[in-house]
Chain A
Amino acid sequence: MSDAKPQALRAEALESLLIEKGLLTSELVDEVVHRYSERVGPMNGARLVARAWLEPEFKKSLLEDATAVVADYNFEGGEVQKLVVVENTPEIHNAVVCTLCSCYPWGVLGLPPKWYKDPAYRARIVSEPREVLTEMGVELDDDIEIRVWDSSAEVRYMVLPMPPQDIEGKSLKELETRVTRDSMIGVQRV
């Protein structure tokens, strides 16, 4: 008996078979792991958000046609055939989910965190978003409208969070570091 989880062991067995069949190399696995760990991630979305905070024209384009804006950036990671960016305001708070699987805008946010793919978030954010957001640290007044986006087809969603209170005088680079992955999913404030 091995100590590994059964699914880990089975994955290793399948990997070994696919290598024998010439359909895979372990170098490819290492390369893909490296790419998705280092070069694809929420830093891409953070660049869009910080720039939108500073440049009203850019923000307008992002909200009108994020797909076109992102195409110009040529981010690695792909998988965004159509991107919609939704804006948080003092009156409206947005949050993104995929209840049927775990659709997520890879090209701008990288691969999703574990909790996004787990049953609890997927089950609850569409039926009791206020409770879930409170538990995750986002307290919303009762008069704030919550808009949940359940990405059920190929369209992907990203939240444009509200800028921080102390945005005055901050540079683009400084602001980029303030944008978190969770704020672009809609479960955190900046």
Chain B
Amino acid sequence: MDGVHDLGGKPGFGKVDKTGEDEVFHERWEGAVFTMVGAGSVAGAWYHSDQFRHAVERIAPEAYLTHGYYGRWLGGLETLLVEAGIVSRDELEKKVAEMGGADTDLVAANPSDDPDPLGEKPAKPGARRSVKTQPLFSVGDRVRTSKDSVPGHTRLPAYARDKVGEVISCHGGWVYPDTAAHGRGEDPQHLFTVRFTSEALWNKAGFSVSLDLFEPYLALEESDV
């Protein structure tokens, strides 16, 4: 999904601001959100972290850029709690009003009226899985990334689409976020680290960027020689 979260290479953000860098949580509510995300997972509002990540990607874009990290998490959490029927929007609005909130406050959460299915509960914890097929690529292969923008969750950032890089390591099989995030199953895929030169990505010299990319994003690049 080409959402506002897909920030790599986007212009206009200015210098890195290191204010407040030594505090883990700046205010109590940030720690509460962190804890509530754990509780939301325990309560079964989602099964895969990919589902939570996608919910964060779906929040109001203006909130994504202004509410901070735990504000984004709050938006994703509320989205999934409402979609799962654990909390209703009405009861939350009522509580917010009781506590002094205003109707005009920007709300990050963006629950769908027709949410994705929750999917099956994973049989194993974590995201490492075995894959029956052999990996399509080996270290040293040149691969081209998909040029397609996909509507849902994906781990191929826009800046690395339709680019040629070199496979530098193979990490075995992992839950495929593109399906797991939508409750469409784990569909494990081989994962590769692919290194792209700065020339290939940005047409300038001096550095490389490496990304961990799933097999379906990649195709072998035929050599011209």
Contact = CB atoms under 8 A, between A and B. Distances in A.
Interface of A: 1-2, 4-18, 21, 23-24, 28-29, 32-33, 36-37, 41, 81-82, 84, 99-102, 110-111, 113-115, 117-124, 126-127, 129-130, 132, 135-136, 142, 145-155
B32 A118 contact: no
B196 to A, nearest CB: 10
Contacts of B6: 99-100
A148 B100 contact: no
A101 B53 contact: yes
Contacts of B30: 11
Of the four ranges (under 10, 10 to 19, 20 to 34, 35 or more), the interface on chain B belongs to 35 or more
Contact of A121 (B16, B67, B92): B16
Given A32-B34, A81-B128, A120-B13, A21 B86 contact: yes
Given A10-B107, A120-B14, A146-B207, A32 B38 contact: yes
B210 interface: yes
Interface string B1-42: 000011111110111111111111111111111111011101
Given A150-B8, A152-B155, A14 B206 contact: no
Given A28-B35, A120-B13, A123-B7, A6 B105 contact: yes
A42 B6 CA distance: 27
A29 B31 contact: yes
Contacts of A132: 16
Interface of B: 5-11, 13-36, 38-40, 42-43, 53, 56-57, 63, 65, 67-71, 74, 77-78, 81, 86-87, 91-92, 95-96, 98-102, 105-108, 126-128, 155-157, 159-160, 169, 171, 174, 177, 191, 193, 195, 201-202, 206-214
Contacts, number: 236
A37 B27 CA distance: 12
Contacts of B156: 152
B209 A150 contact: yes
Nearest to B26: A114
B28 to A, nearest CB: 7
A28 B56 CA distance: 23
